[in-house]
Amino acid sequence: MHYVSSLAKAQAMLALTNIRGVGRRTAIDLWLTVIASQDELGDDPHEIFVTAASKSERVYGSETDLGMVWRTSEQQVAEAHEAGLRVLSYFDDDYPERLRGIPDPPVVLFIKGRVEALHESATVAVVGTREPTPFGVHAAFKAGQHAAESGVTVVSGLALGCDTQAHEGCVSRFGTGVAVLAHGLDRMYPAKNRELAGLLLESGGCWVSEYPLGTKPARGAFVERDRIQSGLADGVLVIETDVQGGTMHTVRYSQQQHRRLACIGHPQKWWHHPKTRGNRKLIEEGKAEPIGDAAAMVRFLRDMSGNWTSSQESDRLDDEGTDQQLWWNEMESLLVPDDVGDSGAKLPLPEPEAPEVPTVKESHTYRPSENAIIVKVINGNPKRANSRAHSRFDLYVSGMTVGQYLTAGGERDDIYEDIAHAYIVVSDYPYAELAQWV
């Protein structure tokens, strides 16, 4: 058979999936049928498409306008190429091997950024609720940091909450991140993460989607992208989830794909919070490895990356764990919202009304304690400090206390003003506001 270019494969495969009734697996099977039967098929993507479509019972005898279907796919591939995107088909040499082995692989991938990020030796999908607890906010951020430090690529859907925190932590340590999006790569959802998404590209990561440019977010697409998140990863780390919700879709996909699954194991005082019940269920049923302290998190990530195998390295991790455990202990000191008691009698936790972001003037009525932990930094990445923020943002390190920030030279009025504008979030801020900003 003659050589078929990468772009030709993608164009033909995309056209097949644009035929009503032809799904991803059918498109792959049709291609394989054509390859097996056509010894002299050339590098004409239209010929490949028509030949493959003619072998489908769904197309034969129907009123499908193959010409219109072909023109649509031709335009989609051309627009992606002009936008600087890579377009890979399932049969492309650069297609991620991890995805090729899942039950329902994407037929075509649109990629912005460094394609090699999809082929890194170790990857972890960090997933969880869009409304994490203060404990979950901190755990997700630290997971991203430790993954970067361990040489593990972080994969997420870039949703608000746990996904955002994980990628913030990753880029803060200049790690590699992959954002799997449920829409065309000409837009960003949620829009709040546009800057973070740009940092992923600057840090050598990429965005990936199975949808062509112009595709808007749709409910079903978010579920389908969850299989790609787990499919691109060697393991899945659940930060926080209820027993139902989007995170559980990723959990089920990870089980189907035989991926390693771990969950944050919260301190007992958080057990009855709605956003931790899914974690407890998965751990108690033996479906997920419990991550009950900082050393366990680091060990999970390094074990996945294969960075250490010797007893000496294991002993070194135990020594590091003494220091690592300090931030976990700080997380355990975070207060459980008043709505949730240890007995769980007041569940379910009512959804807080979205408060208005306070003005600068109002912020001066709020005084965080010096023991309050800075759990979220919007503009704290050193890469951004010179471009759009005051130099004081260099001092912000998620995990330091307000007192440590002040000792490092920060001004009290600065930190109050930055809280008002949601540039930073601290652990003892009222729960409703904290939930909105993270």
Calculated CA dihedral for residues 356, 359, 361, 362, nearest 10 degrees: 20
Percent of the chain with pLDDT over 70: 67
Q: How confident is the model over 276-302, as a mean pLDDT? A: 91
- What is the band of 347 on the pLDDT scale with cuts at 50, 70, 90? very low
Q: In angstroms, rounded to a whole number, what is the distance separating the alpha carbons of residues 173 and 76?
A: 36
Scored b (16 or more CB within 10 A) or e, 173-205 reads: eebbbbbbbbbbbbebbeeebeebbebbbebbb
Residue, of 60 and 410, whose pLDDT is higher: 410
- The least confident of 27-31, 64-68, 85-89, 351-355 is 351-355
For helices 246-256 and 277-284, give the axis angle rounded to 10 degrees.
20
Q: Give the SS3 label for residue 123.
A: strand
Average pLDDT, the chain: 77
Q: What is the pLDDT of residues 137-148, one digit of tens each?
A: 999 999 999 999
Q: How confident is the model over 253-271, as a mean pLDDT? A: 91
For helices 6-17 and 24-37, give the axis angle rounded to 10 degrees.
130
Q: How confident is the model over 256-268, as a mean pLDDT? A: 93
Domains of the chain: 6-82 (no CATH), 115-332 (3.40.50.450), 360-437 (no CATH)
3, two tokens: 């050589």
Residue 385 confidence (pLDDT) = 34
- What is the band of 393 on the pLDDT scale with cuts at 50, 70, 90? very low
Residue 295 confidence (pLDDT) = 86
Is 159 exposed, middle or buried (CB count within 10 Å of its CB: 0-12, 13-18, 19+)? buried
- Please state whether beta strands 424-426 and 86-89 pair in parallel, antiparallel, or not at all (unpaired): unpaired
pTM of the model: 0.72
Q: Give the SS3 label for residue 32.
A: helix
Residue 398 confidence (pLDDT) = 58
- What is the band of 151 on the pLDDT scale with cuts at 50, 70, 90? very high
Please name the residues in contact with 174: beta carbons below 8 A apart, sequence gap of 6 or more.
Answer: 148, 203
Q: How confident is the model over 25-39, as a mean pLDDT? A: 75
Task: Using the predicted structure, report yes or no on whether residue 364 has a pLDDT greater than 60.
Answer: no
Residue, of 197 and 353, whose pLDDT is higher: 197
Residue 306 confidence (pLDDT) = 63
- What is the band of 210 on the pLDDT scale with cuts at 50, 70, 90? very high
Residue 291 confidence (pLDDT) = 93
Residue written as tokens 């112009």? 214
Q: How confident is the model over 79-105, as a mean pLDDT? A: 94
**DSSP, res 373:** B
Q: How many residues does the chain have?
A: 438
Q: Give the SS3 label for residue 171.
A: helix
Residue 62 confidence (pLDDT) = 52
Q: Looking at the DSSP assignment, which residues form a beta bridge with residue 111? A: 86, 208
Q: Is the CB of residue 267 less than 8 Å from the CB of residue 332?
A: yes
Residue 171: other Cβ atoms inside 10 A: 24
Task: Using the predicted structure, report yes or no on whether residue 365 has a pLDDT greater than 60.
Answer: no
Phi, psi for residue 271 in degrees, rounded to 5: -60, -35
Q: Is the CB of residue 155 less than 8 Å from the CB of residue 143?
A: no
Provide the greatest CA pair distance for the chain: 77
Residue 419 confidence (pLDDT) = 60
Please name the residues in contact with 424: beta carbons below 8 A apart, sequence gap of 6 or more.
Answer: 374, 376, 377, 378, 380, 396, 415, 418
143, two tokens: 């997971």
Residue 273 confidence (pLDDT) = 87
Phi, psi for residue 31 in degrees, rounded to 5: -60, -45
